[in-house]
Amino acid sequence: MSVHDLVAITALGGSEPCVETVGAVTCTEVPGVALASVAARLGQESKAAKALAKLIGSPAPGIGRTSGEALTAFWAGPEQWMVEAPFETHEEIADQATTAMGETASVTEQTDAWTRFDLSGDGIPAVLELLCQLDLRTLDEGSAARCSIHHVGCFVLCRTSRLFSLYGPRASVGTLHHAIITAMRSAL
């Protein structure tokens, strides 16, 4: 673990994550997550899936799915996954994933490429239908889908029917957060 003395700020520029509640839905900025992308090397696809399964203690997620518990992974593209881990304990998830994947995959640190917002509570679909084109009927527990929210490319993950995670690119987070809060105020 590093012992440097630089202080992080959240993507929205705060020292603490931003939390906002409208009606029965709460939107929480989640900086406490470390990310690494894992892309299988050519011809190593099944070995990579096995190595990933070992890393997250759960089968590698299929198309449009998430899996895992302490460490989770979600499908990001053909033979490509994103691994999520608690930032506190896994800030250097990319190094850990590189070791775990060995020669089977290319690993890239993505922790600060993305910012996560969690939507929790009742009535989330009414908010999401103002934000993205996804067929929410098919977005069941354990789904992961990439989509565009106000021209910002995002991942939408359904953890449970009352908890969704939205990942958006860190630099566009102001636009994304504004869009989410505006939709919450409009729909709820």
Partner 1 sequence: MTQTNRLSGGQIDRNTTLNFRFDNRSYTAHSGDTLASALLANGVRMIGRSFKYHRPRGVLTAGSEEPNGIVELRTGNRKEPNTRATTTEMFDGLEAQSQNRWPSLKYDALAVNDLFSNFLSAGFYYKTFMWPAAFWEKLYEPMIRRAAGLGSLSMEDDPDEYDKGFRHCDLLIIGSGPSGLMAALTAGRAGADVILADEDFALGGRLNSETFTLGDHSASDWAAQAVAELSALPNVRLMPRTTVIGAFDHGVYGAVERTGDHLPTLPAAKPRQILWRIYTKRALLCAGATERPIAFENNDRPGIMMAGALRSYANRFAVTASERVAIFTNNDDGHRTAADMHAKGVKIAAVVDVRDDAPTSHDYEVLRGAQVTDTKGRHGLTFVEVALADGTTRTLDCGALGVSGGWNPNVHLTCHQRGRPAWNEALAAFVPGPDLPVGLSVAGAANGVMSTHGALQSGAEEAAQLLELSGALPDLPKAEDAPVAQKPFWCVEGCKRAWLDQQNDVTVKDVKLSYQEGFRSVEHLKRYTTLGMATDQGKTSNMGGLAIMAEVAGKSIPETGTTIFRPPYTPVPIGTFAGRMRGQEFHPTRLTPSHYWAKERGAVFVEVGNWLRAQWFPLPGETHWRESVDREVRQTRASVGVCDCTTLGKIDVQGTDAAAFLNRIYANGFAKLAVGKTRYGLMLREDGIAMDDGTAGRLAEDHFVVTTTTANAANVYRHMEFVRQCLCPDMDVQLISTTEAWAQYAVAGPNARKLLQKIVDPEFDISNEGFPFMACGNITVCGGLRARLFRISFSGELAFEIAVPARYGDALMRRLMTEGEEFAVVPYGTEALGVMRIEKGHAAGNELNGTTTALNLGMGRMVSKKKDSIGSTLSEREALNEPDALRMVGIKPVDADHKITAGGHLMNTEGPVDAAHDQGYVTSAAYSPSLNSSIGLGFLKNGGNRLGEQMRLVSPVTDLTVEVEIVSAHFVDPEGERVRA
Partner 2 sequence: MIINHPLLGPRDASEFAYLGDASLIDRPDWQAENAAEAFYEYAYLRDNPVGEHRELWFHEAGDRSWLVVTRNTMTHEISKVELARDVARARGRSK
Q: Least distance (Å) from partner 1 to the CB of residue 111? A: 6
For 115, counting Cβ atoms within 10 Å of its Cβ (0-12 exposed, 13-18 middle, 19+ buried), the class is buried
Q: Does 46 bind partner 1 (CB under 8 A)?
A: no
Indicate whether 110 belongs to the interface with partner 1 (CB under 8 A).
Answer: yes
DSSP letters for 25-63: EEEEEE--EEEEEEEEPTT-HHHHHHHHHHHHTSPPP-T
**Is residue 55 within 8 Å of residue 101, measured between CB atoms?**
yes
93-101 vs 45-56: helix axis angle to the nearest 10? Answer: 130
Among 145, 156, 180, 184, which residue sits at the site for partner 2 (rule: CB under 8 A)? 145
Q: What is the DSSP letter of 102?
A: G
Does 41 bind partner 1 (CB under 8 A)? Our answer is: yes
Should residue 117 be labelled a site residue for partner 1 when binding is judged by CB under 8 A?
no
Which of 20, 113, 120, 146 binds partner 1 (CB under 8 A)? It is: 113
Cα separation, 163 vs 14, in Å, equals: 23
Q: Does 135 bind partner 1 (CB under 8 A)?
A: yes
Selected binder of partner 1 within 65, 90, 116, 170 (CB under 8 A): 170
Q: Two tokens at 116?
A: 């996560």
Residues forming the site for partner 1 (CB under 8 A): 2-11, 13, 31, 37, 39-43, 80, 92, 105-106, 108-114, 129-130, 132-137, 150-152, 169-176, 178-179, 182-183, 185-186
Residues forming the site for partner 2 (CB under 8 A): 63-64, 76-78, 133, 135, 138, 145-148, 153
